Amino acid sequence: MSRLERVISTLLGILDSTLDKLVVPGYSRLAVPLRRRWWPADPPPDVLRGKDVVVTGASSGLGKATALGLGRLGARVHLVGRTHSRLDDAAAEIRAAVPEVELVAHARDISDLDDAARLVQAIRDHAPHLHALVHCAGVMPPQRTTTPQGHEVAYATHVLGPHLITWSLRDQLAAAGDARVVIVSSGGMYTQRLRIDDVEYEHGDYKPTAAYARTKRMQVVLAELLAQRFGADTAVHSMHPGWAATPGVTDSLPGFDKVVGPILRSADEGADTIVWLAASPEATLTTGQFWQDRRPRPTHYFPWQGESATDRERLWELVCEATGVGQG
């Protein structure tokens, strides 16, 4: 790289980071056409031909857009959602766009750990070699509710279910040779610290947006911990999609949607980096990073906000105890 190229690269990096620091330019659709000028190349066409990928939350929003993007690249896509009817509708839309796509539907609620275990067995039966596992499933309950196992629903959906599924499928991921796990977090995680003192949100007034952001922070830490334990066998990344126009935003945050609706990203724009991480050969060159718009991002606004090693390991212990997998 020449001196001029290094200078240009540095300036673009500063511009890119500044967009995020200003939040609105970086998280909205305003950043997309600008960042496309310098972000990494698209995955090669048909790069996933004959490969199995799993997408949770595939009935709508980012999950459906991710499944469509991976299907366009040739993948056999396992769609995971809570109801058969919504999965059927999503599958019909995807097939209309990609007639040759191969889809496998799994009606499972990953917040229910028994259902998550049944999903694991179904994936093992269908896909001995699993190229990618993408966790898009998300919820924002209006009040504190619990799963059949007694866990708070946001925590179970965003943390416990993904952990159980990912750890239980580690052999199938390793067998693929170039596998990756993508955990879809949120920029909202920047507003919360890691709360290991109350992972189930049992204390204080339950606030849906706080519960969501807390568990999204946990997802980022969990991805880093999984990456450490998986090593070179499987790349594990977390990411945030920016502000995207999905049912999760429009239904759960109507006030936010009303204010910023005109500059929200489309579901496809929000899913772009998810698809890139799941498909691009470049995504396996590193592991344990937090991404947005095809570039690693800091996990905290300020370096001194990081979690202690003790708190991080305590989160791992709590998650392993609740799911029954990953100990030792």
Average pLDDT in the 113-140 region?
A: 97
Give the per-residue pLDDT at 251: 64
Average pLDDT in the 30-49 region?
A: 93
Give the per-residue pLDDT at 7: 67
| Residue 193 pLDDT > 70 | yes
**Would 34 be classed as within a structural domain?**
yes
Domain count, the chain: 1
Domain region containing 236: 13-323
Average pLDDT in the 200-211 region?
A: 96
The whole-angstrom separation of Cα 93 and Cα 223 is 31
Give the per-residue pLDDT at 302: 80
Lowest-pLDDT range, 63-72, 230-239, 241-250? 241-250
Give the per-residue pLDDT at 322: 98
What kind and span of H or E run contains 183?
A: strand 179-184
**Would 4 be classed as within a structural domain?**
no
- CA 7 from chain centre, in angstroms, equals 33
Q: What angle do CA 52, 157, 92 make, to 5 degrees?
A: 45
| Residue 212 pLDDT > 80 | yes
Residue 187's pLDDT band, with cuts at 50, 70 and 90, is: very high
Give the per-residue pLDDT at 297: 95
The whole-angstrom separation of Cα 167 and Cα 317 is 14
| Residue 138 pLDDT > 90 | yes
Give the per-residue pLDDT at 256: 64
**Would 2 be classed as within a structural domain?**
no
Lowest-pLDDT range, 71-75, 168-172, 258-262, 302-306? 258-262
Average pLDDT in the 56-76 region?
A: 98
Give the per-residue pLDDT at 261: 74
Give the per-residue pLDDT at 65: 98
The whole-angstrom separation of Cα 158 and Cα 136 is 9
Residue with tokens 């009606």: 107
Distances (CA, A) of 154 to 143, 160, 262: 10, 9, 28
Tell me, what CATH number does 130's domain have?
3.40.50.720
**Would 260 be classed as within a structural domain?**
yes
**Would 7 be classed as within a structural domain?**
no
Catalytic choice (27, 155, 190, 212): 212
Average pLDDT in the 109-119 region?
A: 98
Lowest-pLDDT range, 9-13, 120-124, 175-179, 271-275? 9-13
Average pLDDT in the 124-135 region?
A: 97
Pairing of β 130-135 and β 290-292: unpaired
Record the pTM. Answer: 0.94
| Residue 13 pLDDT > 80 | no
**Would 5 be classed as within a structural domain?**
no
**Would 6 be classed as within a structural domain?**
no
Give the per-residue pLDDT at 1: 61
What share of the chain in percent tops pLDDT 90? 80
Residue 259's pLDDT band, with cuts at 50, 70 and 90, is: low
Least Cα distance to 65 among 254, 265, 296 occurs for 265
- The answer to whether 155 is a known catalytic residue is no
| Residue 249 pLDDT > 70 | no
**Would 95 be classed as within a structural domain?**
yes
What share of the chain in percent tops pLDDT 70? 95
Q: What angle do CA 270, 131, 297 make, to 5 degrees?
A: 40
Where does residue 42 fall: left (phi above 0), alpha (psi -120 to 50 degrees), or beta otherwise?
Answer: beta
Give the per-residue pLDDT at 66: 98
